[in-house]
Amino acid sequence: MVNKKLKILMIGAHPDDNDFRCGGIALKYIQQGHSVRFLSVCDGSGGHHIMSPEEIRIRRRKEADAVAAISGIEYDIWDIPDCEVVADIENRKRMVRYIREYQPDIIFTHRNNDYHADHRNVALLVQDASYLLIVPNFCPDIQPLKETPVIMYFYDKFKNPYFEPDIVIPIDDVIDTKYEMIHCNTSQVYEWLPYTNGVLNMVPKDEGERKKWLRQPTVPKDGTLLSEKDLDIFKPSNNSEYREATPAVKYRQKIIERYGEKAKGTLFAEAFQVSEYGKNLTEKNSKILFPF
C-alpha cells in the first residue's frame, strides 16, 4: 500500500487558486510519481482591468498550460465565467460526474467561509457532491464511487470560524518551482493583482527583476525564526515570501510534532484542514495520503 500511486484532485475557483494555495504540496506529490490534477471551476475571464473577458480567458488558459508544462500537473479549466459560479443542480451533477470519472484518493479545495462568492460556491459544490459520489441513483450514467475520498481545505485567514490546521507540510525543497508556477500567472501577479492593490507602478518590466519582486520582501535565511507579529509588514506583491512563510510561522509547533526539532527552521509551508464531509483522515491513511 505504501507505494500506491495516488490521484490527487485540487479544486480551485480560479486559474491561480490552486497554484497559490497548494502548488507546493502538488509538486511534492509529483516528485514521488503520483498524479495531480488541478481544476479551475471558473474560466478566468474576470481577472483583468484592460483585456476583455474573451481575451483574458484565452490568455489564462495559456498561463495554465505553462504551469502544467513546468510542473507535470494536469490543468483543467471549466467554462463558467468568473464571478458566476452557483451551487445549483446542474453544477452539482457536473462536479459529481467529474470527481467520479477521475476517482481521486484525496481532494483539496476552499473552505465555505471566504470573501469571494466563487470560492464559497466551489467549496459548496464539493461539499454537496461529497455524499452524492456514492449514491447510485444520482447521475446513474456514471458509476458511483465506493467511498467518498478524504477532503482537505486550503489554508486561509478568515476568522468565522478560524482555519484549524490538521496537516502542515514544509515546502522549502520545492519553493523555487512553486514560484516559477506562480510567475507563469503573468496576467494576475504582475497586472491584475497589483492593479487591485494599487501597486501597478511598482512592478518591474524585466522578467528577471519581476521574479525577484514577486518574492519581496524575502524572509531571513540566517536562522532567525519569525514570529506572527513579523508577518505584519507591507508586501507589495500578493505572493511575497512572507505569504509562503505564514503557515510555517503560525504552525511551527505542528511542523516540529510531525518532523521533529530538525524541522524547526522550516521557512515555507502549506497547511490543510480536514473536511468533516469527506472520509476520515486516520493515522493509517494519513501516512499513505501525505507520504512526506
Q: Which residues bind Zn ion (CB under 5 A)?
A: 13-14, 17
Shortest reach from residue 17's CB to Zn ion, in Å: 4
Least distance from Zn ion to the Cβ atom of residue 180, Å: 20
- Residue number with CB closer to Zn ion (23 or 170): 23
Which residue lies nearer to Zn ion by CB, 21 or 183? 21
Q: Which amino acid is at 120?
A: R
Q: Which of 12/24 has CB closer to Zn ion?
A: 12
Strand partners, 271: 168
Cα–Cα–Cα angle for 153, 74, 117, nearest 5°?
Answer: 40
The residue sitting closest to Zn ion, measured at its beta carbon, is 14
Rounded to the nearest whole angstrom, what is the least distance from the CB of residue 214 to Zn ion in the complex? 18
Least gap, CB of 242 to Zn ion (angstroms): 20
Give the residue from 18, 22, 33, 23 showing the smallest Cα distance to 176: 23
Sign of CA dihedral 179, 182, 184, 186: negative
**Strand locations in 156-268 (E):** 167-170
- Closer residue to Zn ion, CB minimum distance, 17 or 244: 17
Q: Which helix (H) or strand (E) holds 119?
A: helix 117-132
Q: How far is the CB of 154 from Zn ion (least distance, A)?
A: 10
Based on CB atoms, which residue is closest to Zn ion, 13 or 289?
13
* C-alpha–C-alpha distance, residues 175 and 23, integer Å: 9
